[in-house]
Amino acid sequence: MEQLIFNVKGSSSDAYEITFIKDGASLTALCTCPAGQFGNSCKHRVAILDGKSESVSGDNADQVPTVTKWLVGTDVEAALGELRAAEKNSERTKDDIAALKKTLARAMNS
């Protein structure tokens, strides 16, 4: 089992602590922010999973790529991939709706 702990800047004045635990093919990510404490997804964990180290306030930001390597082949990677696909689809849907509203406006103004 391997473990990495990061302190990250959050919306409060105190830093949040994120713990990543790699145990075989399992990856666990815990965060002390309110969303994390209630078992919800939080932007702090996702940012590190995405390889972003800007919010890391400790001296181990250079270890973020280790977490992205741990991600490969896990159920967390699969779930993150599904989320990204849904977000992309949602953006396409928003763009389609905007275009259809313009088409409707043109049709009503003709």
The pLDDT of residue 104 is: 87
Per-residue pLDDT of the chain (110 residues; tens, 9 = 90+): 999 999 998 877 889 999 999 999 999 999 999 999 998 989 999 999 999 999 899 899 999 999 999 999 999 999 999 999 999 988 888 888 888 888 888 887 87
pLDDT at 22: 96
CA–CA distance, 70 with 24 (Å, rounded to integer) = 9
Q: Write the single-letter amino acid at 60.
A: N
What pLDDT is attached to residue 13? 80
pTM: 0.81
Token output for 27: 């990856």
Asked whether 67 and 28 are in contact (CB, 8 A), the reply is: no
**Residue appearing with tokens 């409060």:** 12
- Extract the tokens encoding 92: 């396409």
Rounded Cα–Cα distance for residues 77 and 51 (Å): 13
